[in-house]
Amino acid sequence: MSTYSQSIAQPDPKRWKALALLCFANFLVMMDAAIIQIALPSIKEALGYSQEDLQWVMSAFLIFFGGLLLLGGRLADLFGNRRIFNLGVIIITVASLFAGLAWSEMSLNISRAVQGIGAALIAPAALSMIMLLFASNSKEMGKALAFWGLSGAAGGALGIVFGGVLTDLLSWRWTLLIYVPLGAFVLILSPLLLQKRVRKTTGRVDYTGAILVTVSLMLIVYGIVTAEHSSWQSLNTMLPLVIGVVLFIVFIFLQSKVKEPLVPLNIFKTPNLSIGNVSVFLIAASWFPMVYILVLYLQQVLKLSPFAGAMALLPMPIFMAIFMIFIAEKVMDKFGIKKTMVAGFILLGGGAVLFSQTASVDGNYWTNVLLASLIAALGNALAYLPATTASVSEVESEKSGLASGLYNTNYQIGSAIGLAIMVAIAASTANSSTAENSVFALNKGFQQAFFWSGIVAFAGALLALLFIHSQKQGESNDSK
């Protein structure tokens, strides 16, 4: 049992109700990154986005979300988890109102970025509170983390379904406006279910580090996004990429020198934390763009309506929910973190590669989509829980916010970078295609994006096989 697990002796009697609220908040955060996907074609038509610039509706949220998560985790440690959690809910609620009323590309992109800032405060504070609530019982901690993982996966998948329903029945604007009443609901329940913890970490906030890491990640993603327009060799692509990498190296260097860094580098001595975070990054870099491309394939190639496209994706979150609630933890207890994670990555990669072979212009849902989507969903569920466990479960209590921030940062930045790369691959392939029909060219691009999403997952399987170390699961299970 970790030092962290011994830090709290008496469990909170409201811990399961609090877990439900925190998982609902995580569901909303992850849904915010997905609910708008099914509405992208409608947004493109309403606000005049180009096919390539359309991804900024997603990337603006993901970049600020991922870039500020480390700061959010640090603020939660310093000023209290509940306070930072509530502040994040307020920000995302107000930003959602402006996003739903957006009148131009710029107004929507800015509102989405502010939503990302709110999400960056919610996610690490919520996960840190869960770690505190269940620290006294490792078995309950495992169940709590399974529900946390499910809430995130379900938010990403069910968000697309809700987005399709809202877009078809009302308009794309309600995929954003829906957060106003839902955010108010969370704020009402928060003081009733979430305790205001007395324990706080003392110290200061490394704002320089927060600015450096956020700007560096923004520049890297921007460089990848612009590669499709300007080519990888152009100054417009290379300059932001190089500056972004240099700033990230400066950030790492400063973290080793400053007295109170945003990321104390000794946290990476925690068993399996580093490979756990790399795994989370690769899961997101494979899964998120795969679902994004699938949404476009269903609507732009198979010509399904937003509602029909949403229903086509519904089996994925249902399948993941059943597996993660009733099976995933038992599988990990029996076979351990390493075997479970490797199997999950292989299935996720296999589903994506299968999409690359079955996605066709004259295809249909039952023969070209369903099987691959279920395989990929199973793989995502299998890989997600052990990656989460490896990333946060062994961290000391005073670093819980930081660990949560690292975990969420890697997931969101993995999503943003994976999405940028796969969109660039799809666009480049489509533009270089000799097919006379634009739909055939578009489909060829989607096939390549699916294929490389699968390769990312296979890389995750290899790294997990090589670097995950044996670790006790609960009190008696071995992750060999």
| CA dist 194 → 89, 118, 179, 182, 369 (Å) | 14, 18, 21, 17, 42
The pLDDT assigned to 203 comes to 65
For 469, other C-beta atoms within 10 Å of its C-beta total: 12
Rounded Cα gap, residues 120 and 420, in angstroms: 20
This prediction's pTM: 0.77
Tens-of-pLDDT digits for all 480 residues of the chain? 444 344 445 677 788 899 999 999 988 888 887 788 778 778 887 887 776 677 778 778 877 887 787 788 778 877 888 889 999 999 999 999 999 898 888 889 899 999 989 998 998 888 888 888 887 777 777 778 778 877 877 777 678 778 878 888 888 889 899 999 999 999 999 988 887 764 555 667 778 888 888 788 778 877 776 766 667 778 888 898 899 999 999 998 988 888 878 777 877 877 788 888 999 999 999 998 898 889 888 888 888 887 787 788 888 878 887 887 778 778 887 888 889 999 999 999 999 999 999 988 888 888 888 999 999 999 988 888 888 888 776 766 666 667 777 877 788 778 878 887 898 888 888 887 766 668 888 889 999 999 999 999 999 999 999 988 755 444 434 443
Structure tokens at 333: 């207890």
Rounded Cα gap, residues 390 and 395, in angstroms: 10
- Residue that is written with structure tokens 């099987």 in the block: 371
* DSSP state letters, 92-137: HHHHHHHHHT--SHHHHHHHHHHHHHHHHHHHHHHHHHHHHHTTT-
